[in-house]
A and B are shown apart, each in its own frame.
Chain A
Amino acid sequence: MPETATIKSSATHTVPKIALRRRITDHVMTGAAVLTVILVLAPLVAIFAYLIYRGVGSLNWAFLTQTPKPVGEAGGGMANAIVGSAFILALASIIGVPVGVGAGIYLAEFGRNRFGDIIRFTADVLNGVPSIVIGIVAYAIVVLSQKHFSALAGGVALAIMMIPTITRTTEEMLLLVPQALREAAYGLGIPRWRTTLSITLRTATSGVITGIMLAFARVAGETAPLLFTAFGNQFWNLKVTEPTAALPLQIYTYALSPYDDWHRQAWAGAFVLIVLIVTSVAAVRFAVRRGTFGAA
């Protein structure tokens, strides 16, 4: 075949035209691949660098301890939004984590059949539903029945977004637990439910928690489903039935405002949001790794 010959001849500097063209194409495509990597990494670096630059520069004590000042007045902070976000996320986790883990257990332990496949597919489909649509549904279910915006509505919206992710990762993690471990437990006469909770789930704890944190991190920055559920609030609120401020909402409002001071605070808010997400995820993973033997 001519190809073999040309490659060999490339070493002896008698390169026929066809081989040269192919080698140039090869180099060009390699260069193109490297170029795509640079093009993809550039915005990432730009976003992080700019976020840290503007965020750290804008951060101050007032931002972390005060509530927003009236429109046009400089100063103030997002303390209520930081706490409000934590509050809504706690509500979402209280609703979403048990249901998600439970559904995951069902799929892994009882769901190796057609019905399980239906639930599995439903979870995957739910994962792709736009967050704004979930906001509408939470509005229709909670806000319309309560007649006003509330932290609970925001929590429900975020919980709905957390459940499919938690379900699927929990299932995957439980399936990683060796069957022999379950059989050993059955062999000791431990009932199935005890086996699942104390042996299977416990072995997979670190993986399951990683899945929960993944879902948590995903919804922590969500803005769209909170727009017409938690709605936002200029003041402190820790009542489940009242509108509540949330960090992403506040960032959104401030980013679109015409005031420089609010822009500054939006950057500080974005920085705090990302730091909070990263540290909460890291802290939980660290605690879990120390507590168990890190099965996954």
Chain B
Amino acid sequence: MAIPALPRPDMPAPQPVEATKVSGLPPTGREVAPFLRGTSGETGDRIFKSAMLVCGLAVLAILVLIVYELMLRSGPSWHAFGFKFFAGHDWDPVNEHFGALPFIYGTLVSSFLALLIAVPLSIGVAVFTTEMCPAALRGPLSFFVELLAAIPSVVYGLWAIFVLIPLLSHYVQPFLSKTFGWTGLFVGPPYGISMLAAGIILSIMIIPIISSITREVLMVVPQHQREAALALGATRWEMIRVGVLRNARAGIMGGIILGLGRALGETMAVTMVIGNRPEIAKSLFAPGYTMASVLANEFSEATGDVYLSALIEIGLALFLVTIVVNALARLLVWTVTRGQPSRANA
């Protein structure tokens, strides 16, 4: 359509418009629509633009506020313990001696466990939906997987307490300790409530994220990559491995890291199954504690400034870690989905 972008100022108005009563216009002798003078709407535009700018700035302000409040309120703890805060084992609110290492350990181990379970499953699902499954199944399948993302965290926790935990303690844990007990990772009483349970429930929660991003990334891989592999006589799996997965590496990595970000900050479901004991145990059957869980459990009951600020310092650490992780993930996903796949001619 050849519509001119803007009316030329010197064009006469086709019809008088009633909004001519705007003051400040020089008399023109005839009724001219004010917009043709280029003055009308300018004030409105300016007000509108600044109002929208304020909203945009609000987004920026929220982030600044988060950083400011966390740094300000964690000050007392930082002054009292310094870097030792992150290396100390003791969490002793009575004597006001705080070390965050057990929580950091718990967060890292549970998230790592979740990735260990979730990554192969998510990639498998993504590969199946993009490369193997019949077209009619594709839509419903991705819908169902994304439905997993819509379930609130607390409902996962509820389900885990009443279904997953009994399942673990009756069947999975006895089996694991009998078969893999020699590794030292699966020893101890099979109570169900454990680091293992936290890892499993986390993995269920991050599968939708990783698999949906992996699917997006796989779909960006150019079709001729697949065709080229097939033309060279590759089987379907060889085509997927050489032509698809290898091209999508960076994007899949981004999806995994995004899932990691979610797992690190996940609170409720983990708090309900991990056992909440600030200890560092080698066995995955032992209870643990994560940074997010300790906040959920102790924040509203924290007495004393140092206690509260120690908790907020844990929050700050969690915040910084997730920011770094998320920024990294976004960068990786962007490089893949925006431009061409990085190694289109590998």
Contact = CB atoms under 8 A, between A and B. Distances in A.
Contacts, number: 287
A49 to B, nearest CB: 10
Contacts of A189: 7, 33, 35-36
B158 A103 contact: no
Given A124-B330, A187-B5, A196-B48, A130 B159 contact: no
A46 interface: yes
B121 interface: yes
State which size class the interface on B falls in. Answer: 35 or more
B292 interface: yes
Nearest to B41: A191
Contacts of A105: 52, 55
B4 interface: yes
Contact of A130 (B47, B141, B156, B266): B266
Nearest to A19: B235
Contacts of B70: 133, 136-137, 140
Given A193-B44, A248-B154, A267-B158, A98 B55 contact: yes
Contacts of A224: 153, 267-268, 292, 296
Interface stretch (A60-68, A75-83, A115-123): A115-123
A125 B128 contact: no
Contacts of A35: 124
Contacts of B207: 40
Nearest to B13: A189
A195 to B, nearest CB: 9
Interface string B83-100: 000000000000000000
B63 A125 contact: yes
A221 B155 contact: yes
B153 A102 contact: no
B190 interface: no
Interface in A245-269: 248, 251-252, 255-256, 263, 266-267
A50 B330 CA distance: 36
B44 A228 contact: no
Contact of B295 (A136, A196, A223): A136
Interface in B132-167: 132, 141, 144-145, 147-148, 150-159, 161-163
A223 B235 contact: no
Nearest to B43: A191
B228 interface: no
A32 B5 CA distance: 56
B315 interface: yes
B102 interface: no
Nearest to A217: B150
Contacts of A212: none
B66 A130 contact: no
A131 B261 CA distance: 12
B53 interface: yes
Nearest to A47: B159
Nearest to B121: A36
Nearest to A41: B144
A220 B121 CA distance: 28
A106 B56 contact: yes
Contacts of A192: 41, 45, 48-49
A44 B211 CA distance: 14
A22 B124 contact: no
B132 to A, nearest CB: 6
B59 interface: yes
Contacts of B65: 137, 141
Nearest to A196: B48
B319 A129 contact: yes
A255 B161 contact: yes
Interface stretch (B23-31, B176-184, B277-285, B321-329): B321-329
6 contacts: A44-B144, A99-B58, A105-B52, A106-B49, A132-B265, A217-B150
Interface of A: 1, 3-4, 6-7, 22-23, 25-26, 29-30, 32-37, 39-41, 43-44, 46-47, 50-51, 54, 98-103, 105-107, 109-111, 116, 118-119, 121-137, 139-141, 149, 160, 163-164, 167, 180, 183-184, 186-187, 189-194, 196-197, 217, 220-224, 227-228, 231, 248, 251-252, 255-256, 263, 266-267, 270, 273-274, 277
Given A106-B53, A191-B35, A221-B151, 19 more contacts: A6-B233, A25-B235, A33-B127, A37-B128, A40-B122, A40-B145, A102-B55, A122-B60, A133-B265, A136-B69, A140-B312, A141-B69, A183-B3, A186-B5, A190-B35, A191-B42, A220-B152, A228-B299, A263-B162
